[in-house]
Structure formats: structure tokens, C-alpha cells
Chain A
């Protein structure tokens, strides 16, 4: 499976600011996804990051709050904008294979104060 890295691994941010999370894959992949995992909960899909076009967002998530870039087949960013304490969570990127399996990056642990 692909090797996936995320930066930063963790951050503490003040409310009202924005944070951009980077996801780098060591090989070209077609499918990339961004998830959120709030404390004690399972994973919730934020959006599918599409290369060369706008991301596809799930219900409850909007581009103004979570802008996503996917400039090529190995890299994507997720920005958490105008943060509030409710945005404190782990943010994970994943890559998809041809058989629906997904492999996850190590995650970014965000705390908003």
C-alpha cells in the first residue's frame, strides 16, 4: 500500500484562525478523501478530493469552511477555516484502491482554544 504522510501531526490554534493540513502520498493515486474523527467517535467523511476539479463535499460540510486543493495525484490540502472549539478533532486523509479499500495517513490532531 501507499505511504501517506500528513503535516502537521498536531497543532493548537486560536479560534477564528485557519489551519491548512497537507497530505502527501508516495505514489500517484486517483481517489483521495478527507475525514474527521471527533473525540470518542468514528470517522466522518468530509469530502472527496478530486484532482483538477472542485472537491465533492458530504452533507454538513461546505467549501467555505473546509476548502480543499488537489493540484496533482500525490498531494492534497484541507484547510479548516475560521476555527471554533467545535472543530477540535483528528483530521485524516486517505487514499483509495481499486477495490474500495482505503489507506489512511497518520492524522492531524487539532485543538482549538
Chain B
């Protein structure tokens, strides 16, 4: 079975903290990975794409370890506006363009 697994949290962190989310995947055929952010009662929005070993965008860093089938997302200097659910996503593999979504990790940044 193709799965993406995440710690559901919640992660309660103070403003300014650094927080890391971990994700494991079981489908060895997956090549592309993503982190999506989903605010309450909203649709998921693409945060970062991870095609090689990692990607960095401002305060956000994603790392991919294919040998361990492990992806992480690091958020530095957390802001109140970072509070959301973060979804780890991998592709099915092959040419289907289908994605497998993890169950999400809830982050609550406290003032």
C-alpha cells in the first residue's frame, strides 16, 4: 500500500521558535515530494516542491532522504501566521501525475 505518514501533532510553539516536521513514505517509486499548507476550512496550497535532496525558501527548508524514504520541513523564526496544517505529499510514481497525501501535521504558533 502506498502511504505517506506524518506526526499529526499538534505542535504548539512560541513565536520565533524553530520547528521541524517529519514525514516518511513507503512508495519507493515516488520521485517528487511536496509540502502543502492548509488553513482551517480552506483548500491546500502548495508551500514547497522537493525534487532533489532539498529546497529552501526564506524561513522554510525541506530535505529529502531517498535512502531512508524520509522528508522533513523546517520552519525558522515561526510567525503567528504560520499556524496551519502542513501536508506531506508524494507522487504515485510512473506517469500518472497522481499524488498521495499524508494526514497532516497541525502547527499552532503561540504569541
Whether A105 pairs with B46 at a CB distance below 8 angstroms is no
| Size of interface on B: residues with Cβ below 8 Å to A | 20
Question: Which label, helix, strand, loop or mixed, suits the secondary structure of the B interface?
Answer: loop
Contact yes or no, B98 A106, CB < 8 A:
no
- Name the distance in Å between A57's Cβ and chain B's nearest Cβ: 12
Tell whether, in the assembled complex, residue A100 and residue B91 are in contact, meaning their CB atoms are under 8 Å apart. Answer: yes
For residue A67, CB closer than 8 A to chain B, the reply is: no
Interface size class on chain A is 20 to 34
Q: Which residues of B contact A42 (CB under 8 A)?
A: 87, 101-104
**Which residues of chain A come closer than 8 Å to B96, judged between CB atoms?**
48
| A53 in the interface (beta carbon within 8 A) | no
Residue positions of B touching A, CB distance < 8 A: 32, 34, 41-46, 49, 51, 87, 91, 96-99, 101-104
